[in-house]
């Protein structure tokens, strides 16, 4: 898999068959085995894609949080659907299964970068920045850090020091003593 990733990076985000053949030779395995891996994972492209490869998660958590609006923004802008490349050739779109950042849904992966908490308007702003070759900062467009709630971080460390433990906490500690 690392060799497939390297080959894709060296060929403008896609893997030509010659690279598959070279990898198979290098690893002393049948070409079909390398091709099986390359076709199994959506992260590998076996045909040319645009400079900006947009991978949109539309599975349940992202859909519940508005991935249809994110997809509509892309379709309205470039008149493309999943598996297609824009007329200008710079943008390719692919609907993918879970990108693993459900808590900050909806998610759009652009090449190697994740953009989170997108809606129609913020997706449009992201596309504007990509068109200008000046991508926005990666991560949550709402400014969330990691997977914290939209209202801000909530952890036990935020409790005031010296505050008495609740009755339930006392009962558990006494039971463990």
- Which CATH number fits the domain that encloses residue 81? 3.40.30.10
Here the tokens at position 82 are 């999943």
Mean pLDDT for 59-82 is 94
Q: Mapping DSSP to helix (H, G, I), strand (E, B) and coil, where does residue 138 land?
A: coil
**Per mean pLDDT, which range of 11-20, 41-50, 156-165 is the poorest?**
156-165
Within-domain flag for 127: yes
Q: Both 71 and 17 in a single domain?
A: no
Q: Is the pTM of this model over 0.85?
A: no
**Across the chain, what does the average pLDDT equal?**
87
Check whether 21 has a pLDDT greater than 80. Answer: yes
Cα 56 versus chain centre, distance = 7
Reported as a pLDDT band with limits 50, 70 and 90, residue 106 is very high
> Distance between CA atoms of 113 and 175, rounded to whole angstroms?
48
Residue 31 shares a structural domain with residue 57: no
Q: Are 76 and 128 within one domain?
A: yes
More confident residue, 142 or 72: 72
Q: Domain limits at 28?
A: 2-40
Looking at the structure, do residues 27 and 82 belong to the same domain, yes or no?
no
Query: Within 10 A of 2 (CB to CB), how many other CB atoms are there?
Result: 7
Instruction: Provide the domain count of the chain.
Output: 2
| Residues recorded for the chain | 177
């Amino acid at each position: 898999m690392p060799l497939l990733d390297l080959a894709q990076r060296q060929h403008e985000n896609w893997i030509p068959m010659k690279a598959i053949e070279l990898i198979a030779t290098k690893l002393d395995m049948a070409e079909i085995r390398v091709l099986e891996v390359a076709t199994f994972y959506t992260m590998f492209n076996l045909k040319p894609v645009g400079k900006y490869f947009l991978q949109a998660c539309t599975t349940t958590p992202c859909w519940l949080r508005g991935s249809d609006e994110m997809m509509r923004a892309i379709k309205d802008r470039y008149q493309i659907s999943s598996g297609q490349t824009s007329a200008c050739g710079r943008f390719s779109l692919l609907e993918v299964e879970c990108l693993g950042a459900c808590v900050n849904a909806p998610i759009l992966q652009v090449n190697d970068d994740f953009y989170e908490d997108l809606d129609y308007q913020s997706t449009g702003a992201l596309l504007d920045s990509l068109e200008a070759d000046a991508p926005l900062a990666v991560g949550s467009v709402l400014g969330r850090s990691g997977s914290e709630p939209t209202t801000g971080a909530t952890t036990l460390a935020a409790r005031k020091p010296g505050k008495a433990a609740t009755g339930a906490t006392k009962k558990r500690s006494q039971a463990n003593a």
